[in-house]
Amino acid sequence: MFEPPTLKDIATALGLSTSTVSRALRDTYEISSKTKKLVLEYAEKINYQPNPSALSLKVRRSKSIGVLVSEVANYYFSQAISGIESIAYDRGYHVIITQTHESYDREKINIQHLASRSVDGLLVSLSAETADTSHLRDLHDKGLPMVFFDRIAEDINTHKITANNEQGAYDATVHLIKSGKRKIAHLTNSGQLSISIDRLKGYTRALQEYGITPNPNYIKHCNHGGMFYDEIESAVAEVMNLKDTPDAIFVGSDRLSVGCLSVLKNLNIGQDLIIAGFSNADVLDLFSYPLTSVRQPAFEIGQQATELLLQLIESKHPVTEFENRVIDTKLFVR
C-alpha cells in the first residue's frame, strides 16, 4: 500500500526536527536560507506533497476578519464597511461585522466572540464609552493582528488610519466665523474618544485664530454618542437656553449632526442659527436647516485599513513599524 512521504520522513532523513522542516517549507523567517534550501531540495526529490488539511491546522487561518463599529446604520460606518468588504472579499476573506451601540461592555463581549471564532485579524473603531482598551491590548500582545480606524487607541502600537479630524473641525468652524458668527457652540461625542479630542482642538484653534475666546459653557459632550434622542435633545436645549445664546453650532459627529437637526426642528428655533458638522449623510438636504458638512473619505478609509490588516496577517516576518495614516476631509457648504 502506497504511503506518501511525510514531514517526519524528511526530518529523519536530514537529521532535523519536524517543526524545523515545517517552518522551512512555509518559508518562515526563523529558518536559515541554507536549511530551507536543504529541505526544499529533499522534499522535491522525494515528491513530498503537504496535506492540505494538516497545513490549514498548522497555519490556523480562518480566512475571516472581524470588524467592530458603533453601528452599521451610521452613514460613515456603512460607507467604511463597503470599503472593507470591497478589499476583503476580493482577497478571499470573509467579513464578520459586530456593533457596540456605543457600549463598552458590548465592545468587550464582541471582541471576545470574534477572537473565539479564530478570526485572522480585527478592524476596530472604539465605542463612545471606551476609556480602557486593555481587552484589545491583551489580544494584540498575544499576536492577534489588528488595525484601528476612525476612533483609535493611542496606547496600542499598530496601524491606525483616520480622517484629518482637527483640520476638518477647523475648516467648519472658520466657515461659521466667516458667516458672521462669533458665539459658536460645540456639540460633540464623549471626551475620551480620539475623534472628539482632535475635533475639539480644531474648533478651539479656529476660534483663537480669529480672536474669539472659547466659552466652556458652549461645549457639550454626549457620552453615549447620541445613541439616545434624549441625550442630544438635552445637550442642545442646555446650550440654546444659555443667557448668552449661541448663534451657531459646530457638531462633532455624523449621528449627532442628524440628531441635532431633528432636535432643532422640534424646538422651533429661528432660521438665523447656522450649523456645521461632520456628516457623510445624503439626507441632509431634506432638513429645513441647511447643514454645512465635513465629509470623511469613509470608503477609502475602510479600504486602506483592510489593506494594512491583510499585510499584517499575511506577513512572514514580525511587523515592528506601523503607519499612522491621516486622510484629508472636504467641506461641503450648504
Q: Say if 48 falls within a structural domain.
A: yes
Please report which confidence band the pLDDT of residue 330 belongs to, taking 50, 70 and 90 as the band edges.
very high
pLDDT, mean of residues 42-55: 69
Q: Are residues 173 and 258 in the same domain?
A: yes
Q: What is the pLDDT of residues 147-192, one digit of tens each?
A: 999 999 999 999 999 999 999 999 999 999 999 999 999 999 999 9
pTM of the model: 0.78
Q: Are residues 282 and 217 in the same domain?
A: yes
Three-state secondary-structure class, residue 79: helix
Q: Are residues 201 and 139 in the same domain?
A: no
Q: Are residues 42 and 113 in the same domain?
A: no
Three-state secondary-structure class, residue 179: coil
| Domain termination site, one of 17, 33, 59 | 59
For 108, 155, 253, the CA distances from 113, given in Å and listed in that order, are 9, 22, 28
> Tell me, what CATH number does 233's domain have?
3.40.50.2300
Domain that holds residue 104: 64-162+298-326
Q: What is the pLDDT of residues 205-230, one digit of tens each?
A: 999 999 999 999 999 999 888 888 88
pLDDT, mean of residues 69-93: 94
Q: Are residues 18 and 85 in the same domain?
A: no
Question: Tell me, what's the pLDDT at 269?
Answer: 63
Q: What letter represents residue 307's amino acid? A: E
Q: Say if 212 falls within a structural domain.
A: yes
C-alpha cell at 101: 451601540
Quick check: 2 pLDDT over 80? Answer: no
Q: Are residues 289 and 306 in the same domain?
A: no
Question: Tell me, what's the pLDDT at 288?
Answer: 63
Higher pLDDT, 287 or 106: 106
Mean pLDDT, the chain, rounded, equals 88
Which residues lie below 8 Å from residue 262, measured CB to CB, with a gap of 6+? 229, 232
Question: Tell me, what's the pLDDT at 17?
Answer: 87
Please report which confidence band the pLDDT of residue 142 belongs to, taking 50, 70 and 90 as the band edges.
confident
Three-state secondary-structure class, residue 234: helix
* Percentage of the chain modeled with pLDDT above 90: 56
